Structure 1
């Protein structure tokens, strides 16, 4: 089974990556990571699954296969109490639960204690009209993941320095500030660079990426490049050939990136490219 996931420990097995800080690393990211093909959807969602499903397998599979930045959108459902309130979503589809995410993270990090993970809380909203239950969400996160969160004040530290400070703090939790979801452990919202339109052909996406990378965001905070394509009839597209071309070792684009946020990431060689690039960045860092 271990051989099925050669990238399960890719960060801890990458020479020189420890010289880099969170904001200097190039992260392989899963777009809409909570909505995948292995999840069971009701019939009215199953018929439009090509429009809403963005990954092949659940959180634990994504982590085992090398994803280290999870793009997350959560609903709070007032029909439930506590942790059961919270499920991922994409459009009309409800996906995997916060409970499953937390179990997956704890299991994965217990097995792989020197891997680092970004949780990008991209969108938090109520299931229907009303307000997202930030207070309960905050309580659950702090109770279940608090010991694993890297404080925002440590964002300038290298991975080596973070490991020296703690053998547990391996998760960056990024979310927009809210008075009921506010802690020195939270990093603030991650900036997303996307094409601005739901229908984006591979060629239009390539132009968007080229424009973005002419003057990419900079600083200690990670940012996310949306490298996803949607067709008018096909829905979410698998563009592994394009991703391998755009972010491969000869393209020059990947070194300018922070989080490369993709659909069906397992189809591409993105993990290989990120591992090689981060090793090179660490080796040459002064």
Structure 2
């Protein structure tokens, strides 16, 4: 009975977060989004990774050699340490996630583009359509799509991705505007819901509907120990944010080859997931929002602990 009650409570919290932007204190509706706390997911698409797919272009040669030598046994290990999310895009949105960390690649022999992290995941266009359908049902929610790793893509591949984004989101796309005016009330008046950040300069220069990747700097601790992660996030917070930009704080632990060998029969989720969430919540406990405050915070397995409520709580006016 306790388990059933717990699941019901989780569903209730999830429903509360599905429209959290429209329920913000009125004073925050005219505040630039860079001054608001926004929960995000790391490698947001990785729930869709396919263990039977080839190793992706993002993988180091050591991983390729392992898979070449040991086949499916090695692929299972790659899969276990590449999956960083359990929830689909729709479920993440329902839980309150509004920033998505995206890595895209071509797949040899296929015409579509795919999400990748160690292995290949879902086709990009179908996932964007899923997100668009959700936005249709939640017209006051705004999302950030951060295409920050783009692998083995030619100019025509970039054109294809931009065409897909334009076709799917159409009038929902927010063009590059003064970041100080990018507040919810302004975006609502314009009827836009999607800010796309694209880390490929020549492409963004030709497309006013794309925000250059430089507007979305990201603090990546790149460590395996939770205390070091917190210390690095604290150091960056103390140093202050770059002016006129959003900012991502990555509350994640990053495995090394040694880590994976040490826990070869386990996964990123059970080795690093709970401890990273617990410590990013600790990092957030005395923080606030505003020009020098917390903006976007991302994590692996975002449904764990109180990660999302901890981020959203920063927006409550004290």
TM over 0.5: yes
| d(CA) in 2 for partners of 1:46, 1:210 | 35
> How far did residue 268 of structure 1 move?
3.0
Structure 1 pair 228/253, CA: closer, same or farther in 2 (3 Å)?
Answer: farther
Equivalent position of 1:7 in the other structure: 17
Secondary structure of 2:23's counterpart equals coil
Q: Work out whether residues 248 and 297 of structure 2, in 8 Å CA contact, stay in contact via their aligned partners in 1.
A: yes
Once the two structures are overlaid, the 10-residue window that deviates more, 5-14 or 111-120, is 5-14
The CA deviation at 1:201 is 0.9
- Residue of structure 1 in register with 2:198 after alignment: 175
Cα displacement string for residues 18-54 of structure 1 (whole angstroms, at most 9, x for unaligned residues) = 1211211221110000102x65422453333331111
What TM-score do the two structures reach when normalised by structure 2?
A: 0.76
Partner of 1:41: 51
Kept after mapping to 2: 8 A contact 1:30/1:69: yes
CA distance in 2, matches of 1:6, 1:97: 30
Structural RMSD (CA): 2.4
Task: Note if 1:223 corresponds to 2:250.
Answer: no
Count residues in correspondence: 268
Q: Distance in 2 between matches of 1:99 and 1:254?
A: 34
Which of the numbers 287, 297, 302 marks the counterpart of 1:252? 287
Contact 1:174 1:188 in 2 (8 A): yes
Q: Tell me the distance in 2 between the aligned counterparts of 1:56 and 1:273.
A: 19
Matches within 5 A, 1:57-72: 57-72=87-102
**2:85 aligned counterpart, secondary structure:** coil
Residue 95 of structure 1 corresponds to: 121
**Residue 127 (structure 2) pairs with residue 104 (structure 1):** no
Aligned pairs for 1:184-263 within 5 A = 184-189=208-213, 190-195=216-221, 197=222, 199-231=223-255, 232=259, 233-234=262-263, 236=268, 237-238=272-273, 239-248=276-285, 251-252=286-287, 256-263=293-300
Q: Offset of 1:177 from its aligned partner?
A: 3.8
Between the aligned partners of 1:203 and 1:172, the Cα distance in structure 2 is: 33
Contact map agreement 2:230 2:280 (CA 8 A) in 1 = no
Structure with the greater alpha carbon radius of gyration = 2
In terms of mean alpha carbon deviation, does 232-241 or 27-36 score higher? Answer: 232-241
Runs of 4+ in 1 over 6 A off after TM superposition: none
